[in-house]
A and B are shown apart, each in its own frame.
Chain A
Amino acid sequence: MPIEINWQLLMPELIIALTLLIVLVFDLFDSISKSILGWMTIVGSGIALWVSIQMHQAGTVGTQFNDMFKVDNFSLFFNIIFLVSTILVALISLSYLGRDDRKQGPYYLLILLATLGMMLMAAGNELIIVFLGLELMSLSLYVLAGYFRDSPASSEAGMKYLLLGAFASAFFLYGIALIYGGTGTTNVPAIAEAIIAPNKSPLLLAGMFLLIVGFGFKVAIVPFHQWAPDVYEGAPTTVAAFISAGPKAAGFAAFLRIFMEALPNLQVEWSGVIIVLAMLTMTVGNVIAIAQTSIKRMLAYSSIAHAGYILIGLAAANNDGISSAMLYLLVYCVMNIGAFGAVILAKTEDGESLVISDYAGLGLRKPLLAMFMTIMLLSLAGFPPTAGFVGKFYIFKSAVQAGHIWLVIVGAVNTAISAFYYLRVVVTMYMREPEEELPFASYPSTLVVGLVLAAIGVLLIGILPSLMLAPAQNSVF
């Protein structure tokens, strides 16, 4: 049977694949400046972003490859999240990688490969496709985490991430196998049809729990979160920003799609588990973040806590829950990359300053940098009028609608706890005097552009949320 391919449906993925090939080819020529590769990545992702937005607005729906690959507003909205993250990460990477030409080519290649993997995950209408996307993404990330070969911390991060990530993939694959055993199919809608109320075999439930474990690793949910702080701390800061953003969103994309579309009939079984995991994740992430002295570790625990907030949306399991999780992921990616970008910006001449106390007095000495950092941290803490507030509010609202009042109370109390450590950085920047004057380096212009974009995004979505809220509400499957 010949396969009819609708190329138009695959446009964003094809554009990324093409960009990837161009980057690969251009990297072969020694005569050209390699910094152009970063710009190619940005332009390619930009075009793919524009195409995705057009397709989203047109409400394009369709499946490809024997129903394995599904393009709908859900996957297109996630494409927007991934591509925005990729563009921002590429922008903050341009100056970070320095002038070393050998480093540039593979870096952008891996970023693009990971992005392609994420897009496959969001569009996967078949557990195997989701797994393929997951592996494409994860393998690229393992290499990226260990990208600075000369740095022991980076190598350690890469190795740790590889070992734990491989375990998680194995769990995930085993879960798929058991679900196949229980239903006889790996197609998402077909699984939902195969699970009829009384037929809840233990096999199926075991498969479901293994999927939760697998996703739990990938998006860093407590108690599967231990890799995150070490990897974030050791990996190059731009890579940490990347890992914390896009891949988390991709994990949640598949998480939402599989649990809401393939396993809705098991909701009674999984919703309790998700609620407990959400509460645990938020609380553990926030409480441990308080004790951190390194800004990268603090952001790692904060990103764990944020996975907990997003889980609330899944626990709510209604339309608002899904769209609020999507909106929050978008907001979270922008503000988290922005926060990591500000960390990169706070570079001294001898290297990055990663201890929070180094930031003392930054408010007066580097007002622009301090302002960026403050906007991002306030948004992460969920203060109005930033995007973080709207996102959190919408998630809580969906959970109240679903009747999970206690979950919302835990979430709201966690917001207050999180304010403590986010504000501590602001306190250090504006309210403490520096013990010694650290020689801060000057601002690289591309990094500032990236941060300005992130700050505009955070404030714009905060003040006029309808810009992104309506598209998110429009994207539920």
Chain B
Amino acid sequence: MLLSIVIFLPLLGVIAIALLRGLGASAIKGIALVIGLLTFIVSLGLYTGFDTTTATFQNVTQQAWIPGLGTSYHIGIDGISLWLVLLTTFLTPVCILAAWNSVEKGLSGFMMSLLALETGMLGVFCALDLFLFFVFWESMLIPMYFLIGIWGGERRIYATVKFVLYTMAGSALMLVGILALYFQNNNSFDLTTLSGPFEHSHLLFLAFFIAFAIKVPLFPFHTWLPDAHVEAPTVGSVILAGVLLKMGTYGIIRFCLPLFPDAATEFTPLIVPLAVIGIIYGALVAMVQPDLKKLVAYSSVSHLGFVVLGLFSKNPAGIQGSVLQMINHGLSTGALFLLVGMIYERRHSRMIVDFGGLAKGMPIFATIFMIVTLSSIGLPGLNGFVGEYMILFGSFVQGAFSKIYVVLATAGVILAAVYMLWMFQRVMFGTLDKTNEALPDLNAREIVVMLPILLFIVWIGVYPKPFLSKMEKSVGLVVTQVQTEPAVGRAGEQILQDTELALHGTQRAQNEKIEKEAETK
């Protein structure tokens, strides 16, 4: 019930705004913000009530919906989706506040799209019924389409149509995959009763994986992303980078790995190189971007490459690192897009050459930008480091693929430092020219927007344990499901216990190591 409230509260806000839009701009913004905050507060109940001792789904609601089609309204969360739900409910009010003064036309439509989008995204993370999942997956496209297409930049129409068509092309295949699974699951779309091995598991894996790879986006499916990011309004970019891309990686961890372990293993040698190419290629292309927003967009390609790498390492550390990195990326890239948006509102330019020396005139902006930049690079003590470290550690020590890939991926960390710091240097240091002198520093509202994000950036960097402990069991279950080979002659329960023991061991070692390093830095 609680979960249903979290999912549909934003939709209530959409209806409220639709009915009360006549009251004026401040009322619309007020309703949106209140609903956004309320959703976040209610979703905290999911966190406090979360049982860390089990890997099964919690807060489950199951209701008959369309018996004739074999689908039900079945939702629930585990330790993985919990974090993505919280990330979504956290970023939405932040976005509403960030868009406070920047929407010039159709404010009610903007806020309605944003809230409808929140419902769609939350639904994707909570659906335990394949049909329901697909409904949310597709319906979330429409508000995003309007957000980019109406409130976006110059080439917004091209970007938004490209975004929709790429996603639809992927989901067309996923639809076929879902239908094929249905008939192998006793005519039911229920995710919790699905258990392999399935017939044609290779094709099914690909049907799902390509849809998710487009969303992630994995190289070479990434070309929609820079267009969408650059043309989207600031808030659109934040949601796109912060949450939407995670729907792809979430799909991989929820469907591709546990349902088709054999196929996942067989395709690993193909996918891991693509992830590594994405890491290096994204970083190299980001380096030469003259446009701040495009730079951040390509850095997303690189960061998401890490997440995919960690997922296919198929061991607890790597996958936990990936899930954590999903949150980290949502926070730090979301923050970067917000900062770029703030400077764009002041200067109406995003070109790096137009800036220089901003640190003199805008010290608060520069400080926050610095922290976020360092978090994105993965400086120890900030969130990015923990995730990247765990991914690389997991992939190197127990990874199911050649170590050379991990070595190459590590080069991506260095490249990240190069493009981010170089950009920071060109924007913040050097001579402050006339046009930039008059730019005002951040105002109180903007600081309020950034502060909660900074809080989490530091928190996860210094003390990631509460985050990791909630997802531990669920990740462990995924690991046992994906590592099916040693199952011969052993009871499933035993493997689960073994993995948990191993998980605890790695976990403890890592936590100690991370804490120690955090202290020394």
CA distance A390 to B131 in the complex (A): 10
**From residue B249, how far is it (CB to closest CB) to chain A in Å?**
22
CA distance A383 to B160 in the complex (A): 16
Most chain A CB atoms below 10 A, which of B69, B141, B164, B169: B69
| Residues in B88-114 with C-beta less than 8 Å from chain A | 105-106
Does chain B have a CB within 8 A of A413? yes
Asked if B180 contacts A400 (CB within 8 A), the reply is: yes
Render A435-477 as a binary contact track against B, CB cut-off 8 A, 1 for contact.
Answer: 0000000000000000000000000000001100110010000
Render B162-188 as a binary contact track against A, CB cut-off 8 A, 1 for contact.
Answer: 001100110111011001101100000
CA distance A261 to B419 in the complex (A): 69
Instruction: Classify the interface of chain B: helix, strand, loop or mixed.
Output: helix
Which residue in B69, B139, B142 is a CB contact (below 8 Å) of A397? B69
Most chain B CB atoms below 10 A, which of A364, A397, A432: A397
Asked if B149 contacts A415 (CB within 8 A), the reply is: no
Does chain B have a CB within 8 A of A396? yes
Asked if B180 contacts A431 (CB within 8 A), the reply is: no
Q: Which residues of A are at the interface with B, using a C-beta cutoff of 8 A?
A: 363-364, 378, 383-385, 389-390, 393-394, 396-397, 400-401, 405, 408-409, 412-413, 415-416, 419-420, 423-424, 427, 430-432, 465-466, 469-470, 473
CA distance A401 to B181 in the complex (A): 11
The answer to whether residues A396 and B168 also contact, given A465-B66, A465-B69 and a CB cut-off of 8 A, is: no
Asked if A423 contacts B66 (CB within 8 A), the reply is: no
CA distance A415 to B175 in the complex (A): 11
CB contacts (< 8 Å) of A415 on chain B: these are: 168, 172
> 15 more A-B contacts (CB under 8 A) besides A431-B156, A469-B69?
A383-B138, A383-B139, A384-B139, A385-B139, A400-B176, A400-B183, A408-B179, A416-B165, A416-B172, A419-B164, A420-B161, A424-B161, A431-B149, A432-B157, A466-B68
Asked if B175 contacts A430 (CB within 8 A), the reply is: no
Does chain A have a CB within 8 A of B150? yes
CB contacts (< 8 Å) of A420 on chain B: these are: 161, 165
The answer to whether residues A401 and B183 also contact, given A383-B138, A383-B141, A409-B173 and a CB cut-off of 8 A, is: yes
B contact residues, range: 35 or more
Q: Which residues of B are at the interface with A, using a C-beta cutoff of 8 A?
A: 65-69, 105-106, 131, 134-136, 138-139, 141-142, 145-146, 149-150, 156-157, 160-161, 164-165, 168-169, 171-173, 175-176, 179-180, 182-183
CB contacts (< 8 Å) of B138 on chain A: these are: 383-384, 389
The answer to whether residues A393 and B139 also contact, given A416-B169, A419-B164 and a CB cut-off of 8 A, is: no
Asked if B157 contacts A431 (CB within 8 A), the reply is: yes
**From residue B184, how far is it (CB to closest CB) to chain A in Å?**
11
Which residue in A378, A427, A469 is a CB contact (below 8 Å) of B66? A469
The answer to whether residues A393 and B145 also contact, given A400-B176, A408-B179, A415-B168 and a CB cut-off of 8 A, is: no
Asked if A397 contacts B172 (CB within 8 A), the reply is: no
Nearest opposing residue in chain B for A465, CB measure: B66
Most chain B CB atoms below 10 A, which of A378, A412, A415, A432: A412
CB contacts (< 8 Å) of A427 on chain B: these are: 149, 157, 160-161
CB contacts (< 8 Å) of B136 on chain A: these are: 384
Asked if A419 contacts B165 (CB within 8 A), the reply is: yes
Asked if B176 contacts A423 (CB within 8 A), the reply is: no
CA distance A405 to B179 in the complex (A): 10
Asked if A378 contacts B142 (CB within 8 A), the reply is: yes
The answer to whether residues A396 and B179 also contact, given A383-B139, A409-B173 and a CB cut-off of 8 A, is: yes
CB contacts (< 8 Å) of B165 on chain A: these are: 416, 419-420
The answer to whether residues A412 and B172 also contact, given A364-B105, A427-B149 and a CB cut-off of 8 A, is: yes
CB contacts (< 8 Å) of B164 on chain A: these are: 419, 423
Q: List 24 A-B contacts (CB under 8 A).
A: A364-B106, A384-B138, A384-B139, A389-B138, A393-B134, A396-B179, A400-B176, A401-B183, A405-B180, A409-B172, A412-B172, A412-B173, A412-B175, A415-B172, A416-B169, A423-B145, A427-B157, A427-B160, A465-B66, A465-B69, A466-B65, A466-B67, A470-B68, A473-B68
**From residue B405, how far is it (CB to closest CB) to chain A in Å?**
32
Nearest opposing residue in chain A for B152, CB measure: A431
CB contacts (< 8 Å) of A400 on chain B: these are: 176, 179-180, 182-183
CB contacts (< 8 Å) of A390 on chain B: these are: 66, 69
Nearest opposing residue in chain B for A415, CB measure: B172
**From residue B58, how far is it (CB to closest CB) to chain A in Å?**
26
Asked if A397 contacts B173 (CB within 8 A), the reply is: no
Which residue in A394, A423, A432 is a CB contact (below 8 Å) of B69? A394
CA distance A465 to B182 in the complex (A): 18
The answer to whether residues A413 and B69 also contact, given A384-B135, A431-B156 and a CB cut-off of 8 A, is: no
